[in-house]
Structure 1
């Protein structure tokens, strides 16, 4: 018997019928874990590098190259992950990617030198980068409109939480003192830390097993029956009676298409071309510029933040009152190499203050972002205000005449990270289902390409042109605030 008119629902109407409960919160938690795992995999490398600097005999320049490897991996795979997410499924991509990333990250704990470590972290981040877009698309398409923007911003809180985790792990593990010979490699505390930090990747993949593919994706690629079954499962897990679920068929949005065609260059082009044509062109360029600004300004410093903290607190005790923030980084480029050559016993030395500063940074940013998520309906004004405040802080960092206050302003500058979730939410709400994974992944490619270049530039400039780097970042962030004024009203979205 064919379905009657009352059995056919628009997707958003059908999604609203499933309610908002255990399934949505559980999926948020699973995606949260995946984002945490990805954040630890990418940004946690900073503390691994700091702990391994002496053992691997790295200079500040080597640290910059190694620390930029995760960004290089993301640049390579952002386009393929976007294509696969939009044509093969969000959950499928996430499970395979996170599993592979876990294996590569775990193996990196046995790297004999920093170049092998860089190669394995390149592979690991290339795989874990699938989480950048697929998690937001999966979660966003399983939450009703009322909770969607809030959940998108809560997801970003996961990234804010990651520093607290890996700094605490770093503190506990690097305090250990052991050296075990394994296949000719001296297995020291930083290697154990590397292994422990790979575990969330595997845990995230296992957690996703419980949840279903995005019903929006399934319907969009012609798998209507499966989509209805997933919606029904959500309805039941949220407390509904399976006999009373009314949806039998979904009415697809205009422009939906079967995304299961065979891989080809033409299919790749058909996936990306609409993003750079009217009516999507303007919003695509605007969001990508904001992505470029926020990520080059924030990630270029954030990825080497443990090293920045370590150098700061090592030098602060002997600093003069008249010195500024950047003065502490003069003549530090080869310090670690000299220490490694002069010391008979290499220590995985991380200042205690570095750990506490990192934990405070991560935990406070997590709380701040969670609070900001409660104002999800004011995304545009939040973006403008955050970027203006951050730009002002960057200008003041090296102009206080005293390093500790400079560190406080540097912390405020890093609040540009609060804009990450806002941009991700726009990728979900301003684009059709068929292109959400692609536009987000390409956005992340723009983000990490910016961060890759920025990290190498910042690490090279930190010792002699720190002030110039900060002023340049301030100018970029201010231009981002101007661009954010062109964002659509928060009342405008595709749905």
Structure 2
């Protein structure tokens, strides 16, 4: 009897064990975020999100950098002086500097998509209203607001796209996003060329509606189109997981899976976690949350990578944007002076000649007592060639995204060498070619953005990128004033100084981690 009872007890224990095993098998398996993301596949969702983010970056570039065309075209209508032109031209950078930190904080606490939708819609409205500005002061205020809002795209788009695309394509997509910025000059130069050929004056609501106002309106449209395209895509599942909203994250991952060709209901992930751990408190507004978003960036173990990437940001943006922002002026000086220059004149000699010729100088800064309804054709074609060629070059470089460290070093070394050679060729055309090569420092922008995504935890990704953009625009703002003051009087010194700075950036890039994203 005891033996029978013992057998019964053993069989009962076996049944309990089988039930435990069965229950364990029925429990949802938890996947790390990268594994869960890879299981969504790669297809229509990723390509569509890339297109939406590409449009947002393009719209931001047009909104910020296209202001130079608008200011030039509006000079007569708004009776602008040189000082007023300077104030207007600085508005986008002022807006970016003011809002970089808030956008980073909001992106990391409220969501990537949410921030982008509000920011781009607001920027669109501000840009549209600026086309009806009655005075230059109103135009300056509206452009400040618009650029402050659109600057959210600089970091939030990279974070959103990087967190929704697998590791195999992430680096390539980051570089393709930079191609959008390369394409923007081609777009607004062509639009400026076509629209400013028109000749109309229509009294409307106390203003006279002229071609430059139509150009402003047309340049605002990509902001609204980008927001509309983004509306059809999900919030970053990684952000949602990070702030403890796992159910929403799983819903979004499933949507991505289905749109990429998966069968509804067959997505295998029922639970997801972040390999670096969750930071649920980052989703709450508070002064403590504000501090916790920035403090870790400047403490070990993130301190070194923060300083390294910010230095690279400083170098590339001051070296590139300081010249790129005044590129129409440089082109105007070059083409104006080249026709009358001596046979043995070098690249910098053209700027020295222009400085001694008041008439050429006035033409260079596009200031005249006469109203002009067109933009210089040579400036248009040179700007288009610059934008389109750099777009193609960046697209080609994106195919080598796995070698981003080597790419960064090579680009910066070549650019530094070109800067040294610009004024030593003995004639201006080859100097102009080398100047184009020097401007390839812009190719590094996307690489730096990819490192911001790759080297920092999800909780701080938006913040570190936005502060990086603050560093970038502050350096560009300061560099533009320096270059503007030196380009006609100490051109060679400015180029040699730029070469040394870029070379130091190449040395810093050698300290970046090696490996694919």
Shift of 1:4: 4.6
Residue 299 in structure 1 maps to residue 321 in structure 2:
yes
Comparing 130-139 with 254-263, which one deviates more in the overlay?
254-263
Please show how residues 417-428 of structure 1 align to structure 2 within 5 Å: 417-428=442-453
Alignment of 1:34-433 (within 5 A): 34-58=56-80, 62-259=84-281, 261-329=283-351, 330-331=354-355, 333-335=361-363, 340-341=368-369, 343=370, 346-433=371-458
Alpha carbons of structure 1 residues 196 and 259: separation in structure 2 relative to 1, 3 Å: farther
SS in 2 for 1:256: coil
Q: Any idea what the Cα deviations from partners look like across 1:260-307, whole Å, max 9, x if unmatched? A: 554232211100111111111101100000000000111111122223
Which structure's relative contact order is higher, taking Cα pairs within 8 Å and 6+ residues apart?
1
SS in 1 for 2:164: coil
SS at match of 1:186: strand
Distance 1:107 1:134, change over 3 A: same
Q: In the TM superposition, what is the alpha-carbon distance from 1:172 to its structure 2 partner? A: 0.5
Using the TM superposition, give the Cα deviation of residue 64 of structure 1 relative to its aligned residue in structure 2, in angstroms. Answer: 4.3
Query: Displacement of 1:12 after TM fit?
Result: 0.6
Return the index of the structure with the highest Cα Rg. Answer: 2
3-state SS in 2 of match to 1:181: strand
Aligned residue for 1:478? 503
Match of 2:461 in 1: 436
For the Cα contact (< 8 Å) 1:86–1:259, is it kept in 2? no
Task: Write the distance in 2 (CA, Å) between the matches of 1:273 and 1:288.
Answer: 15
Which deviates the most, 257-266 or 120-129?
257-266
* Bigger mean CA offset, 376-385 vs 261-270: 261-270
- Output the TM-score relative to the length of structure 2: 0.90
For 1:250, what is the secondary structure of its paired residue? strand
TM-score, length-scaled by structure 1: 0.94
Q: Distance in 2 between matches of 1:136 and 1:146?
A: 16
For structure 1, list consecutive stretches of 5 or more residues without a partner in the other structure. none
**CA distance 1:384–1:5, shift in 2 (3 Å):** farther
Give 1:158 shift: 0.7
Give per-residue Cα distances to partners, 1:357-399, cap 9 Å, x unaligned: 1111111111100110010110011001101111111222223
Distance 2:224 2:400 in 1: 33
SS in 1 for 2:280: coil
Between the two proteins, the alignment pairs up a number of residues equal to: 489
Contact 1:394/1:471, CA 8 A, preserved across alignment? yes
Q: Give secondary structure in 2 for the equivalent of 1:134.
A: helix
Describe the SS at the equivalent of 1:210.
coil
SS in structure 2 of the partner of residue 488 of structure 1: coil
Distance apart, 1:50 and its partner CA: 2.9
Q: What CA distance in whole angstroms lies between the structure 2 residues aligned with 1:236 and 1:337?
A: 54
Q: Distance in 1 between matches of 2:191 and 2:88?
A: 21
Distance 1:106 1:29 in 2: 23
Indicate how the Cα distance of structure 1 residues 56 and 409 shifts in structure 2: closer, same or farther if over 3 A, else same: farther
CA distance in 1, matches of 2:366, 2:460: 51
CA contact (8 A) 1:236 1:242 kept: yes
